[in-house]
Chain A
Amino acid sequence: GENVEQHPSTLSVQEGDSAVIKCTYSDSASNYFPWYKQELGKGPQLIIDIRSNVGEKKDQRIAVTLNKTAKHFSLHITETQPEDSAVYFCAPNAGGTSYGKLTFGQGTILTVHP
């Protein structure tokens, strides 16, 4: 199965700073790399994803970068705002027979101080 490690486990930044969260995985067959955001008291929600044939993807203040050779991908948040405070999870997966049974990272608690 997939081994997933996410770092850091907690991240505290000042409003306006950038934040970077890294996810390392073990399954070389992984081809889809999503990031989820979980706000307090809610279920996780997909915020950005990338496929294995793309190196970087941006959506306004968030971006994801992928290094398939090194088996890691990262979430980048620029110009952080207090509403970015949440728990972030990665869940790399290979599809196929692993469909529906994801392995999530341990989560990163991001706190943005006004």
Chain B
Amino acid sequence: NAGVTQTPKFQVLKTGQSMTLQCAQDMNHEYMSWYRQDPGMGLRLIHYSVGAGITDQGEVPNGYNVSRSTTEDFPLRLLSAAPSQTSVYFCASSYLPPGTASTDTQYFGPGTRLTVL
């Protein structure tokens, strides 16, 4: 299994440009999430999905869109990039174990480092 993959690894954008960060997982996980990581602020949730066709906002959703048409893919779209979106972006997936056990272990991709000039 490749686990969680993200492309591109690095990206430089100009203010106002749009782009899509790709995320895919081959573990058949129901849950997928996008986080951004900024110095001193840990990982903050942007958007998440509990299954194909279902998405919801996290802590910092403004300026980002997501969709989930398949279980495997969860792209993150920046509609009009701003310097405040300069960050490292991580995609993660998780699954609900059978039974009553609750262990929301996140499997992270390698990240995309985005710079907006």
Contact = CB atoms under 8 A, between A and B. Distances in A.
A41 B45 CA distance: 19
Contacts of B58: 101
A103 B41 CA distance: 11
Interface in A65-112: 89, 91, 93-96, 98-107
B106 A101 contact: no
Contacts of B105: 34, 46, 49
A61 interface: no
Nearest to B105: A46
A104 B43 contact: yes
A102 B45 contact: yes
Nearest to B31: A100
B28 to A, nearest CB: 15
Interface in A10-63: 31-32, 34, 36, 41-46, 49, 51
A94 B103 CA distance: 9
A75 to B, nearest CB: 15
A36 B106 CA distance: 9
B40 A106 contact: yes
Interface residues of B, number: 31
Interface stretch (B13-21, B77-85, B108-116): B108-116
A42 B111 contact: yes
Contact of A91 (B30, B106, B110): B106
Given A100-B31, A100-B48, A45 B108 contact: yes
Contacts of B4: 43
Shortest 9 CB-CB contacts between residues of A and residues of B: A95-B102, A43-B108, A100-B31, A106-B42, A104-B43, A104-B42, A100-B48, A101-B48, A107-B42
Given A101-B48, A104-B43, 19 more contacts: A9-B40, A36-B106, A43-B111, A44-B43, A49-B105, A91-B106, A95-B102, A96-B102, A98-B104, A99-B50, A100-B30, A100-B49, A101-B33, A101-B56, A101-B58, A102-B45, A102-B104, A103-B59, A105-B42
